[in-house]
Structure 1
Amino acid sequence: MSARPEIVAAARGWLGTPYRHQAAVRGAGADCLGLLRGVWRDVIGPEPETPPAYTRDWSEPQGEERLWAAALRHLVPADGPVRDGDVLLFRMRAAGVAKHLGIAAGSGTTVIHAYSGHGVVETALTRAWTRRIVARFTFPPAPRDLQEDT
């Protein structure tokens, strides 16, 4: 059984949450990582690690891909077309580090993300957003899904 509809439903449950840097509380505040952390808790269970304090530039001055490295530790790389429930990693500037996350929805035509100045929103996955995608991931199976497979 695919958790993709559950992932999208969980992400949509965060719509309208105000943008708050480093927060991960539905209805009170979240940034893009906080949204992903909240959906993880809703669908998978306890978070696999506590994120360190981070700045809004996501280590851009050092040129370190910290967010990408964390995604590789806990998510499963994906390929092929964008599918609902995929975690999308964006590079906001061509020469910058990847520092924005969202969850694909709307049959791959929208993205749910926490965006500074807007909060958690679902917006069209336009060409401008699509060209910023540098990696895609899926959530790992929830522990209950692994038990069902045995």
Structure 2
Amino acid sequence: MTGDRVVAAAQSFLGTPYRHQAAMAGAGCDCLGLLRGVWRALYGEEPGPVPPYRADRRDPANAGALADAAARFLLPTEAPLAAGQVVLFRIGSDAGPRHCAVLVSPTRFIHAQEHLGVVEANLTEGWAQRIWGRFTFPDRAERPD
């Protein structure tokens, strides 16, 4: 999947208010909802059902869910940081990822953040140190069933 298509889909969410578990440009989304919206823009349908999850990042019931979903639907990459990659971030002292975003360039990303909504931000050293993993959207033919 080309990075330009992924970035354009993510940019269509800029300014969308933050809404927990939502995934609709202009109406509301959270960080996972942003990725779900990009997926729909690329492929026309949701990748699969999304189980309920709490906004509380410390909820142990959600531990590993983001990493599991990324492993199931996205392709891991170790290529240099590039536009269109999905980045998973650790938050706080959690070992696993609890936040996700789409790279616009090697130094900028789009994400949904409480109180701010969907924004484009700098990939500062602080954010870069929290990167847990990077992924790409698959070509449609490679998409898991």
TM-score by length of 2: 0.91
Cα deviation, residue 141, structure 1: 0.5
Which one of the candidate residues 108, 111, 114 is aligned to 1:113?
111
Residue pairs, 1:135-146, within 5 angstroms: 135-143=133-141
After TM superposition, what 4+ stretches of structure 1 lie above 6 angstroms from structure 2? Answer: none
Coordinate RMSD, CA, aligned: 1.9
Q: In the alignment, residue 129 of structure 2 is paired with which amino acid? A: R
Cα deviation, residue 50, structure 1: 1.2
Matched, 1:128 2:126: yes
Structure 2: segments with no counterpart, 5+ residues: none
Question: Per the alignment, in what secondary structure is the counterpart of residue 112 of structure 2?
Answer: strand
Q: In the alignment, residue 38 of structure 1 is paired with which amino acid? A: G
Structure 1: segments with no counterpart, 5+ residues: none
Residue pairs, 1:99-110, within 5 angstroms: 99-105=98-104, 107-110=105-108
Q: Distance in 1 between matches of 2:133 and 2:41?
A: 23
Larger radius of gyration: 1
Cα deviation, residue 59, structure 1: 6.2
Number of residue pairs matched by the alignment: 143
Cα deviation, residue 97, structure 1: 3.3
Cα deviation, residue 48, structure 1: 1.9
Answer yes or no: is the 8 Å Cα contact 1:44–1:141 preserved in 2.
Answer: no
Which residue in the other structure is 2:21 paired with?
22
Cα deviation, residue 98, structure 1: 1.2
TM-score by length of 1: 0.88
Q: Distance in 2 between matches of 1:63 and 1:9?
A: 29
Residue pairs, 1:10-49, within 5 angstroms: 10-49=9-48
Residue pairs, 1:64-75, within 5 angstroms: 64-75=63-74
**TM-aligned CA distance change 1:140 to 1:59, over 3 Å:** farther
Answer yes or no: is the 8 Å Cα contact 1:19–1:117 preserved in 2.
Answer: yes
Cα deviation, residue 69, structure 1: 0.5
Sequence identity (%) = 47
